[in-house]
Structure 1
């Protein structure tokens, strides 16, 4: 009888159990700081000259492809913790958290909290776990590199590490594509059910 842990069990215990909570804490603290910044932006800054209520902090048009490319690029940078002692992963988490917080702070000046939740939750429930998975990969590789430099481990990266990281990154990539489709095609429609306001100038976080 094979008593070895299954792949999901190995991924959870070796990669996610320790590093996802660390990544989530960094993201939450950064998000709160970003919210503080966004909530302090004067309402008049939310309009471009010659426009009516358009949000200059957001791109004019989002598609599944553009969102997928943008988010996969961000996750690629986050995974570079493997070659930066985890610093790129931490920095990327901080920047993403700040951005989310700022966008929420700005959006709450324009629409109700229920609408803001509707703009974030449908794709965020998929996108944020993907972000945390990739962050876990970057943080674990970064920590192993530190341990290797300090002589605490004999191997920098094992074949098992590479295979398991590959599974996690592939899973995150699939989640990003799904989240991008929801954000580009469904989120505004869902949020519009909770308000009569024009949401054309607001882009989901």
Structure 2
């Protein structure tokens, strides 16, 4: 009889239990710093020249495909922490956090907190966990590499590590596709229920 823990339990204890909280802390601190920076931008800077209150957020049409490609690319960079001692993962978390915080700080100058939450929460509840899962993979591989270099372990990576990382990355990819669909097709519709303002040009990650 196989006494090994089942796959979900192994994934949680070996990959998520310790590394997700670390990733979440880095991301959260970066969001706070980004928010402080974004909230300092004068409101008049948010207007396009020659307009009366028109917002200056990206007016690019977002689709499920474009968002999926963009976000999967960002997660790929984050996963490179596996071959960079975790540095690419940390830098990617910091950059994403700064961008999220700054955009939220800017958005709050134009719309209410409820609207900003409506623009973020529907897809963010799925996208952020995907980001943290990939970050956990990058951080764990990075830590394993450091331990191997220091002689604390005799194996740099095992077949089990690769299989489990594959499951986690595949799960994150599925979550990213779902989040992209929600962001492209449902987010503005949900947010518009809380305001009469034109939200078509607002892009809150």
* TM-score using structure 2 length: 0.97
| 1:97-147 deviation line (CA, Å, top 9, x unaligned) | 001000100110001000000000000000000000000000000000000
Q: Deviations over 1:13-42 (max 9, x none)?
A: 000000000000000000000000010001
Structure 1: gaps spanning 5 or more residues: none
Question: Structure 1 residues 82 and 112, CA, compared in 2 at 3 Å: closer, same or farther?
Answer: same
Residue equivalent to 2:147: 147
The equivalent residue for 2:156 is 156
Distance 1:11 1:147 in 2: 20
SS in 2 for 1:193: helix
Distance 2:52 2:172 in 1: 38
- Is residue 198 from structure 1 mapped to residue 198 from structure 2 by the alignment? yes
Corresponding residue number in structure 2 for 1:129: 129
Question: What are the superposed Cα offsets for residues 136-185 of structure 1, whole Å, 9 maximum, x if unpaired?
Answer: 00000000000000000000000000000000000000000000000011
- State the 1:54 CA deviation: 4.4
List alignment gaps of at least 5 residues for structure 2.
Answer: none
Query: Is 1:113 aligned to 2:131, yes or no?
Result: no
Deviating beyond 2 angstroms after TM superposition, the runs of 4 or more aligned structure 1 residues are 50-59
Q: State the TM-score, normalizing by the size of structure 1.
A: 0.97
The CA RMSD over aligned residues, in Å, is 1.1
- Alignment check: 8 A CA contact 2:59 2:202 kept: no
SS of equivalent residue, structure 2 residue 60: coil
Name the CA distance, whole Å, in 2 between partners of 1:54 and 1:202: 10
Question: What is the aligned length?
Answer: 205
